[in-house]
A and B are shown apart, each in its own frame.
Chain A
């Protein structure tokens, strides 16, 4: 079982910063534990930025390699997660600059065997469990696609804020942006996300109390 990232409690489970110090002193085991803790957050951030799982895996590997090389410059007083995600974000941005036109690859995990192109149904609040699950997957797919359509800087800010639960200050550090710009990106990103979902049929609720489900069927 993987350890959750952002382990802050000293004791039996060493903190990220403690592991980073051990790794800096030459312990590959400590670095391996950090990789295990952060492979999903790092890969998740990169894959949602570059939208190509194969490239994202190479970039995630490259990000960890860069982190290993740069361990000497890591300040244990600062949060390891922010430091690592900054490296991962830079790796993704470098790749985006190299490849201006990225093919859009769906990131929705097709674990349900549903055929592509099937007409989606309205979410039914009284539906039994399998249908609720299908509706939930539809919503997740719509959110992923709306997110994929955002500008990369908005996407990165939203992913770091809501996917990685970073503070505004940490996001500013990861993206190398002023705090005010981060707040603007988050605000505009949320608005753009809501618009994209509305365009996909998940419209804003009206005053009459309609649900936010897909319209137009």
Chain B
């Protein structure tokens, strides 16, 4: 901390003289001396701690917002995946025999879209989310990995289920 120095009348006098003589360099030097003798105002004790506390509070709010975003994204992806699963099951010829042919075709198309969405989610969960989030918080990597694993398991069970329904997989594959 700077030692406080008392201002003297001579210093003020010297500056005013330099100003009246239009001696810029001398006036600047002398005014700097006057400023040096001014009391340096200080914030209340504990200022640094208060700044750091506000930073910590803001970081916590950012983390919370990010977690919420991630949760919404995961929920949307799971719902889409479920829709894809349901679509594929319903679209199969043996899945729901009562559905008319046109309806079945629509459901098959929905199933194909759903399959794309499911694969996209799998790729997203396994590649993008862990890399992006692990940069910030390692524990998110674990959550993302669990989600990716569940997606893969879901897809593999879906494929097995479809394989049991003869012709469905073949019908959904592009020709």
Chain B residue numbers with a CB within 8 Å of A61 are: 47, 50-51, 54
Restricting to A102-161, which residues have a CB under 8 Å from any CB of B?
A: 107-109, 123, 125, 132-133, 135-137, 139-140, 143-144, 158-159, 161
Does chain B have a CB within 8 A of A80?
no
* Size range of the chain B interface in the assembly: 35 or more
Chain B residue numbers with a CB within 8 Å of A32 are: 48, 52
Which stretch of B15-23, B68-76, B95-103, B106-114 is in the interface?
B15-23
Does chain B have a CB within 8 A of A28?
yes
Residue of chain A at shortest CB distance from B12:
A212
Contact in complex: B48, A35 (CB < 8 Å): yes
Contact in complex: B16, A108 (CB < 8 Å): no
Q: How far is the CA of A60 from the CA of B43 in the complex (A)?
A: 9
| 8 pairs of A and B residues whose beta carbons are closest in the complex | A136-B6, A212-B13, A123-B9, A162-B35, A139-B7, A109-B39, A212-B16, A136-B7
Q: Main secondary structure on chain A at its contact with chain B?
A: helix
Chain A residue numbers with a CB within 8 Å of B17 are: 204-205, 212
Restricting to B9-48, which residues have a CB under 8 Å from any CB of A?
A: 9-13, 15-17, 19-20, 24, 27-28, 31-32, 34-35, 37-44, 47-48
Q: Main secondary structure on chain B at its contact with chain A?
A: helix
Contact in complex: B48, A140 (CB < 8 Å): no
Does chain B have a CB within 8 A of A191?
yes
Does chain B have a CB within 8 A of A9?
no
Q: A43-B43, A190-B27, A212-B12 are in contact. Are A163 and B48 (CB under 8 A)?
A: no
Chain B residue numbers with a CB within 8 Å of A215 are: none
Partner of B19, one of A48, A125, A163, A204: A204
Contact in complex: B9, A135 (CB < 8 Å): yes
- Closest Cβ–Cβ distance, residue A20 to chain B (whole Å): 14
Does chain A have a CB within 8 A of B1?
yes
Chain A residue numbers with a CB within 8 Å of B16 are: 194, 197, 202-205, 212
Q: How far is the CA of A212 from the CA of B27 in the complex (A)?
A: 14
Chain B residue numbers with a CB within 8 Å of A191 are: 19
Chain B residue numbers with a CB within 8 Å of A132 are: 6, 8
- Closest Cβ–Cβ distance, residue B175 to chain A (whole Å): 51
Contact in complex: A35, B47 (CB < 8 Å): yes
Does chain B have a CB within 8 A of A68?
yes
- Closest Cβ–Cβ distance, residue B43 to chain A (whole Å): 5
